[in-house]
Amino acid sequence: MKLLSSRTMDKRPAKSKKKCCGEEVTLSLPLDASAEQLAKLTWAIAHPARVRIVQLLLSRTSCVCGEIVDQMPLAQSTVSQHLKILKESGLVQGEIDGPRICYCINQKVLKQLKRLVAAL
């Protein structure tokens, strides 16, 4: 799923006329710069395997290296693809530790996701 960049999105609020309770009301959708960030982050956790990875990382007090694949009923390549998506969103960070990559939750981005969802 490709997100629209701010350059490709229409800058004008969407308006339409609807009848509500017998009155004609003009509805408009306010511009919201955070909509794209919310879409990016929610898409990152829109798959059950990615939700499970986030839950696993949140349950640990330190970064997780090799255990993610062991905890998932998926092939290593599939887990890697899910981790790639989570990293691209910024929700998960990966750090090279010798031959392995250790993963942890980016707490700042997690707080941002919580704030964006709460604002809906």
**Domains within the chain, CATH numbers bracketed:** 35-118 (1.10.10.10)
Which is more confidently placed, 23 or 111? 111
- The pLDDT of residue 113: 96
| CA–CA–CA angle 41, 77, 86 (5° rounding) | 10
37-64 pLDDT, tens per residue? Answer: 999 999 999 999 999 999 999 998 787 8
Q: What pLDDT is stored for residue 62 in this prediction?
A: 80
Exposed e or buried b for every residue in 96-118, given b needs 16+ CB within 10 A? eeeeebbbbbbeebbebbeebee
Q: Compare 63 and 95 and report the one with higher pLDDT.
A: 95
Q: With cut-offs at 50, 70 and 90, classify the pLDDT of residue 104.
A: very high
